[in-house]
Amino acid sequence: MPQPVRVAAVGLGWVALHRHLPVMRRSSRFEVVGVIDRASGHAAAVAAKEGRLRHAEAGALAEVPWIDEVEAVTVATAPMGHAALIGEALRLGKHVLTEKPFAMSVAEGEALTAQAAAADRRLAIVHNFQFARSARRLAADIEAGRLGHLTAVNAVQLGNPRRRLPTWYEQLPLGLFYDESPHLLYLLRRFAGDIRLARCLVTPGTRGTQTPARIDAHFLSDVFEGPITLSCQFESPVSEWYLMVSGEAAMGVVDVFRDIYVRLPNDEGHDTGHVLRTSLAATGQHWLQHVTSGVPHLTGRLFYGNEEVFDRFARAVRGEAEALTPVSGEAALAVLKLQHAIIDGQELVRR
């Protein structure tokens, strides 16, 4: 086993405390040297809880006296600060693993990927749900031909504005869309190929927010002929994220939040028997996987593919550059371009 990657965690919000640090703590590929946060006393408190870690109260890496002791940083600050931190880390010769979105404009994203290449440093983005157990089961079914000839790929997001949300999301372009859409966009790219925007309708919010009420985007792909869509409803009474891949033989449904995968067979003539079969298949698979995914969720060990992202990053730092491909700066730049195509090309639905 190669030497562990010596890393500092920057930005100690919910994601860092419940995803980044626990995943690195459980992995032999990382040694967490220290933690960094701007909030007074927060890094010190986290360092004390995590063990004998160095800590710093700083808004820039240059302010951290022990930064030379690490070779990589993880970034989990608000998106508005990602580009500056990534750029500084690369200038200091550090490898970077950052939360999405990694930049606030396409120009920023292009500059960062070019900077990482010029410095021969690894830049990775946390595009984790493509490695969750549910998405991997969908991929296995497609590879085995269990869905038959594929006919559509659709992503659906329902968001309850009352759920736990970051305090800064309304500062982003299209608000919450800019923070959350990378997940669904990279899932669409994972199963429909290199997609491009065809048309996007945006319905403004009813509460005077930057976040719209609804976004409906249609995409085209050179390798997938069927409809490829993203539908986001941000004023919903429930929060659900689904990825649905339709085939002539069956439909594969990924319940992203619960990390559950359900395969529904073709219901033929939609008669009573086939409808009942669909109900039994859906509910049976759903409740069975509440055990396999629910227990890890309750015990704080359901990481939704983050383990694979961090593992790939560490392997890339140690020389396996190809391991980074699905979570590379270039992959994230493709998603960033889709986000800005939606922002720039949106057609407003007038009331």
C-alpha dihedral (328, 329, 330, 332), degrees to nearest 10: 90
- Residue 101 contacts residue 178 (beta carbons within 8 Å): yes
Q: How remote is the C-alpha of 205 from its chain's centroid?
A: 24
**String of DSSP letters for 34-102:** EEEESSTTHHHHHHHHHSS-EEEE-SSGGG-TTGGG-SEEEE-S-GGGHHHHHHHHHHTT-EEEEPSP-
Q: How many CB atoms lie within 10 A of CB 199?
A: 13
How far is residue 212's CA from residue 203's CA, in Å, rounded to a whole number?
A: 6
User: Of the given ranges (141-150, 154-163, 282-291), which has the lowest mean pLDDT?
Assistant: 282-291
Stated length of the chain: 351
Inform me whether the pLDDT recorded for 219 exceeds 80.
yes
Q: What is the mean pLDDT of residues 63-70?
A: 98
Give the pLDDT score at 35.
98
User: Of the given ranges (62-71, 208-217, 288-297), which has the lowest mean pLDDT?
Assistant: 288-297
pLDDT tens-place string over residues 245-286: 999 999 999 999 999 999 999 999 999 999 999 999 999 999
Query: CA torsion sign, 110 to 321 to 187 to 268?
Result: positive
Among left, alpha and beta (phi > 0; psi -120 to 50; other), residue 11 is: left
- Residue 62 contacts residue 38 (beta carbons within 8 Å): no
Share of the chain above pLDDT 90, in %: 93
Give the pLDDT score at 78.
97
Share of the chain above pLDDT 70, in %: 100
**String of DSSP letters for 118-133:** HHT--EEE---GGGSH
Inform me whether the pLDDT recorded for 168 exceeds 90.
yes
Give the pLDDT score at 91.
98
Query: CA torsion sign, 160 to 229 to 322 to 304?
Result: positive
**E strand or H helix at 191:** helix 176-192
pLDDT tens-place string over residues 118-139: 999 999 999 999 999 999 999 9
Residue with more model confidence, 293 or 47: 47
Give the pLDDT score at 212.
97
Give the pLDDT score at 159.
97
Give the pLDDT score at 301.
80
Q: In order of start, what are the domains of the chain with their CATH numbers?
A: 5-127+304-327 (3.40.50.720), 129-299+341-345 (3.30.360.10)
Give the pLDDT score at 41.
97
Give the pLDDT score at 86.
98
Q: Give the chain's mean pLDDT.
A: 96
**E strand or H helix at 70:** none
Inform me whether the pLDDT recorded for 76 exceeds 90.
yes
